[in-house]
Structure 1
Amino acid sequence: MLQPVPADEFDESWLWWRPRDARFRPTPHARLNALRRSVFDDALAAIKPGRRIKVSTYVFADRGVDVDAAHALLKQHARERGWIVHRECFTDEPTGDLLPVRPQFNLACRHAGGGFVDGVLAIDRGAMPSTDEAYEAYLRWLHRHRAFIAVLQPTVGGTQWTD
């Protein structure tokens, strides 16, 4: 997705002409999603051909979330992709702070960065750190360690996404 760049941000007085068309840039969400996808692709490319991908599951258990069902859904998704699910699952619960603390997410990322698994599988972006800067820092750290964060993707045929 793109958002328009405000006119005052590209006021270039040294140009004798003014751009007639509006300029656009990616939204923060689109930029981070592209970065996550790039980290994912690079991590998969670094895995030896023929070796199965190992992942850990991570769930942020906000109010009303059935943790066991969420982990089961993630495990099913991983198996459908041919991935191996590591025995350890990571779950954080809200602490009531303005910005939720996610120590288990940190552990899951360290687990992936340490080479125990290739990546972390989560439900969606809502499970990740709430600030874009923190999320980007995690993605860049995982990229340096050839690990990834994957999110649940809708699949066609026989899942809750098709009903």
Structure 2
Amino acid sequence: MRLQPVPVNELDEALHWWGSQEPWSRLTSSSRLSALRRQFYEDALAAVGPNRTVKVCTYVFAGRGVDVEGSHALLARNARDRGWTVHRERFTDEATDGPLPAWPQFDLACRHARSGFVDGVLVHDRNAMPVSDESYEAYLRWLNCHHAFIAFLQPTFGGTPCVDR
């Protein structure tokens, strides 16, 4: 996890009386969101239980040069390697020039998970979700309320999936 220094003007005045010269630190925004996603992911998997297979849908943000079919196939393979079932629907948003539009397919994938059709949305990584940090956190919390999750592609070593979540 990454830490960033806390500016002196944001410190609580009650802390100043300790007289500590050590700098105060806090999690960066990306570290905080990563920890939050991981906790919600663990909670959602625990809610699925051991007697049922986890179902996921795949989401790809198709920037320039992205092989959409290959990306969905890689996500589906990763899901099967984890013992998960891949839902027949897949979701793809295309990158556009100009101002950021709404990302209807990402929203639809999350609604799919929230509605119980799948347990989670499998994406490549945080950069594959075209939403701001505030929106991303709202999606995480919204899905958590319905025992759903966002999962990232697991790295592979030597052709086998990494077993560490």
TM-score, L = length of structure 1: 0.92
Q: Residues 100 and 127 from structure 1, CA distance in 2 versus in 1: closer, same or farther, beyond 3 angstroms?
A: farther
- Code of the residue aligned with 1:133 in structure 2: it is E
- Partner of residue 70, structure 1: 71
Unaligned runs of 5+ in 2: none
- The answer to whether the Cα contact below 8 Å between 1:100 and 1:130 also exists between their aligned partners in 2 is no
Deviations 1:134-160 (A, max 9, x none): 00000000000100000112122227x
- Code of the residue aligned with 2:91 in structure 1: it is F
Q: How far apart, in 2, do the equivalents of 1:114 and 1:9 lie?
A: 40
Q: How far apart, in 1, do the equivalents of 2:98 and 2:125 lie?
A: 21
Q: Residues 125 and 15 from structure 1, CA distance in 2 versus in 1: closer, same or farther, beyond 3 angstroms?
A: closer
- Partner of residue 156, structure 2: 155
**Structure 1 position 45, deviation (Å):** 0.7
Q: Residues 118 and 5 from structure 1, CA distance in 2 versus in 1: closer, same or farther, beyond 3 angstroms?
A: same
> What count of residue pairs does the alignment treat as equivalent?
161
- Partner of residue 22, structure 2: 21
Alignment of 1:6-155 (within 5 A): 6-10=7-11, 12=13, 15-155=16-156
Unaligned runs of 5+ in 1: none
**Root-mean-square deviation (Å):** 1.9
Q: How far apart, in 2, do the equivalents of 1:61 and 1:68 lie?
A: 10
**Structure 1 position 89, deviation (Å):** 0.4
- The answer to whether the Cα contact below 8 Å between 2:58 and 2:123 also exists between their aligned partners in 1 is yes
Deviations 1:89-121 (A, max 9, x none): 000001323324210000000000000000000
- The answer to whether the Cα contact below 8 Å between 1:94 and 1:101 also exists between their aligned partners in 2 is no
Q: How far apart, in 2, do the equivalents of 1:119 and 1:113 lie?
A: 8
TM-score, L = length of structure 2: 0.91
Deviations 1:8-30 (A, max 9, x none): 21151684342211111000000
